[in-house]
Chain A
Amino acid sequence: MADLVENVLREAAEKESKYKTTEVNKDIDLVIDVGNLMTSDTNPFNAKSSRSNREKYLKDLARDNTQLLLNSIWKLPTQNVDNIVVAQLPDPSTPIPREKPVPKEKALTKWEKYAKLKGIQNKKKSRLVWDEPSQSYKPRWGYNRSGDDTKEWLVEVPGSADPNEDQFAKRKDAKKERIAKNELQRLRNIARTNKSKVPGVGLTPTDAPSKEYLGKALSVAKTSTASIGKFTENLPKEKHAKFQGKKRKFQSNIGNMKDEMSHQLNILNTLGQDVPIVDKNRAANLHIKEMEESRAKQKREDPDGARKKKLTGKRSKHGRLATMKRNLKKGRGGGRGGKSGGRR
């Protein structure tokens, strides 16, 4: 028994002497960032031994530090991936600057804003749809789409349509128009998010122009010359165009004493008032918007519950809104004042 113990001990001692140790002693512990495979050693640099044989000194130093880093890596939890041992690294602890700033959240488009307010959610549609004529699945949109009406070789002329009208060209034009409108809306959305001036839609072509539309088109056409319509002649009996652009108005250089006084007095009065002036219309609109938003939120969170409520309580809610608006119109202050006024 004693022999056996001795043998085992001797073997262990031999083994230890055969291999060099993995232990390293340092006066000041290294700061090890395992996530970046990085160590920083703040122990004083031995200038004397460095001068005698710098390369050897640096190599020994590097060896010791590497040993310490790898010791800590070998302690990490490991995993077998395709018969390869990998260690799970923790997150890097050294803060390192980003390459580019943090991405800003994408601004909502006008429609997205509206959909959010109303609680409208996107329905997921499959990419492929069954195409009856070809008896196969085809993309819903894009190249080789199912039900592509621009690829038809025969188009029926509707009874009410002009027989000489090219129905093929009409379809193509309509598509072009839709694309142009979409592009315009995209640009307007960009302009809105950049807070620059949002251009108006202008005149979009229609099949059945109304009287108002024609008037607008006429005035636009008259001013669409190089001289902004300065030399455009009027037709006999033509009425004055309604849709003139707004002219800028400036105050006169020589001040009007009366206006000046009233203007200043107005400012003074508003400053002296204890009770803040409330824009009732704005307040009412804000309140209505808030309510709509909360309802949309409710709808989003609990679609079934909202539907049930809608069935029973739609009318009363509508009524409440209407009365509130009425009250606000009547009363001087908030909703409360309005109620009391009504009682009187």
Chain B
Amino acid sequence: MQRVVKPKTQRGKRFLQEREAKIFENPKKTMFVKGGNTSQTVTQMLKELYQLKKDNAVMYKRKNIMRPFEDETQLEFFSQRCDASLFMFGSHSKKRPNNIVIGRLFDHHILDMIELGIENFKSMFDIEGAKCSAGTKPCMMFVGEQFDIEPDYIRLKNLFADFFRGVVIKQIRLQGLEHVIMITAAEGKIYLRNYKILLKKSGSKTPRIELDDMGPSVDFSVRRTKIASDDLYRRSLKQPKNAKVKKRKNISRDAFGSQLGRIHMQKQDLDNLQTRKMKGLKRGNPNKDATSSPNKKSKQSTEES
């Protein structure tokens, strides 16, 4: 986008550049928004999920009176302000007790959102045991046929994956895999469970996995949904042409993991090769040649005669 008003400082320029549309995007930021009226359960849940996603998240913990399904402009304004594209909104009312709206935005406009009711909540602090360290990339498990059949659930699965996946990475530390989020769709409900991974010996290279409850554990029921039209969704999925990195030629790895490269070189000019510097090996001084050559010639001539 071309700006008519130029940023006045370098810092301001950098700030705007950071927010511009890019080929390789920043990790998505999440807003956790507390509604106008919330219950203890909702607040606690927002807090705990915020803790799990703290690296790329902001918490709006004042009373924010808004109803995302009725009027989405306020939420879009929030997203504009903090450059976030995922949100979780919590509220509590007589009609919709313990209500959570989870959704995402595309270009600062609502793409999908789904309203979930908390039926059962078990806090992270009610469960004993170690928790995962902050900022770990979770493993996501989706269970249930519905996630592959029903259109709403297909989108919900994608939304959950988008919400929890965190930063897209190229490499992962094997010992750093310590968090599992399981989302199960069954019996008309959605179960969200968090576990901590314990790597045990198995007698082979791959470890035996044991899980430990970590929390929060939530049972959801699906309430209202608002899903993007196919057209808009397709537009949001469009990837830039040059996002794919070209394969680098002539580079390989051997069994030990070290990088090998093949270099094509031109024939080396051995005349200009710098060898050990010695007086006797010196050449190419034109003055010396000029003085020495006539003597040689004269010598030769005397020999001949």
Contact = CB atoms under 8 A, between A and B. Distances in A.
B143 A70 contact: no
A20 B200 contact: yes
B25 A21 contact: no
A234 interface: no
Contacts of A327: none
Nearest to A80: B257
B29 to A, nearest CB: 9
A323 B160 CA distance: 70
Given A87-B172, A103-B240, A71 B206 contact: yes
Given A40-B142, A99-B26, A100-B107, A22 B182 contact: no
Interface stretch (B37-45, B47-55, B189-197, B297-305): B189-197
A79 to B, nearest CB: 5
B16 interface: no
B2 A193 contact: yes
A66 B212 CA distance: 12
Contacts of A59: 193, 195, 211, 213
A260 to B, nearest CB: 45
A232 B173 CA distance: 81
Nearest to B211: A63
B216 interface: no
Interface residues of A, number: 63
B174 A102 contact: no
A62 to B, nearest CB: 4
A98 B147 CA distance: 21
Contacts of B22: 100, 103
B237 interface: yes
Interface of A: 15-16, 18-22, 35-45, 47, 50, 54-55, 58-59, 61-63, 65-67, 69-71, 73-74, 77-81, 84-89, 92, 94-103, 107, 186-187, 190, 193-194
Given A20-B202, A40-B157, A194-B2, 8 more contacts: A19-B203, A35-B168, A42-B144, A45-B187, A47-B186, A79-B171, A79-B257, A98-B236
Interface of B: 2, 4, 6, 20-23, 25-26, 28, 85, 104-107, 111, 137-145, 147-148, 157-158, 161-162, 165, 168-175, 177, 180, 182, 184, 186-187, 191, 193, 195, 197, 200-211, 213, 217, 233, 235-240, 253, 257
Which 5 A/B pairs are nearest by Cβ-Cβ distance? A97-B236, A100-B21, A45-B186, A74-B206, A103-B21
21 contacts: A35-B168, A37-B165, A39-B139, A40-B157, A50-B186, A50-B187, A58-B193, A62-B211, A63-B210, A66-B195, A66-B209, A69-B141, A79-B171, A87-B174, A94-B161, A98-B106, A99-B105, A101-B21, A102-B21, A103-B22, A190-B2
